[in-house]
Amino acid sequence: MLKVRYLLTFKPKSVWTVGPEEPVLEAIQIMADKHIGALPVLREEELVGIVSERDYARKVILLGRSSSDTPVWQIMTSDVVTVSPDEAVHRCMEIMTEKRIRHLPVVEKGKLIGIISIGDLVKAVIEEQQQTITQLERYIAG
């Protein structure tokens, strides 16, 4: 069974983050530049939240707030669901489905070491299933 640690080996080692006092515009610019949908929010080394494009759309755009005047902490999700690098990929999919979230920060020994998306998980499950199919076809063919 695939673990989160395995997925992280295929992702960039650095994790893009934003501070809670930064303007939302800064967070959105980072997400656009890096082609990502969410950013962990760190105060020094501590994970204090996560901000996503969904947060931006619902809590800034729809409410007519200013992206440059609104700090990230006002729109971020502060009750962050995290996983360890030893969590199973299938369990992460269950968590995302139950919580209706698309990104999971990965924390080890209290430190953020990565972030995985629903796309990362789907890709991993498809690859795992393809390997199983290939092995079964070889077994049947003898």
Distance CA 41, CA 48 (A): 6
CB count within 10 Å of CB 89 equals 22
Distance CA 65, CA 82 (A): 29
DSSP state of 35: T
Distance CA 3, CA 33 (A): 29
pLDDT at 137: 87
Domains of the chain by start residue, with CATH: 4-141 (3.10.580.10)
Rounded mean pLDDT of 65-91?
96
pLDDT at 112: 97
Rounded mean pLDDT of 72-101?
96
Distance CA 113, CA 29 (A): 22
Q: What's the predicted TM-score (pTM) here?
A: 0.88
Q: Give the β-pairing of 46-52 and 103-108.
A: unpaired
Kindly report the length of the chain.
142
pLDDT at 132: 85
Percent of the chain whose predicted confidence (pLDDT) is above 90: 81
Confidence band for 1, pLDDT divided at 50, 70 and 90:
confident
pLDDT at 8: 96
Rounded mean pLDDT of 80-99?
96
Q: What pLDDT digit, counting tens, does each position of 3-40 carry? A: 999 999 989 888 999 999 999 999 999 999 999 999 99
Distance CA 116, CA 103 (A): 6
Rounded mean pLDDT of 115-119?
95
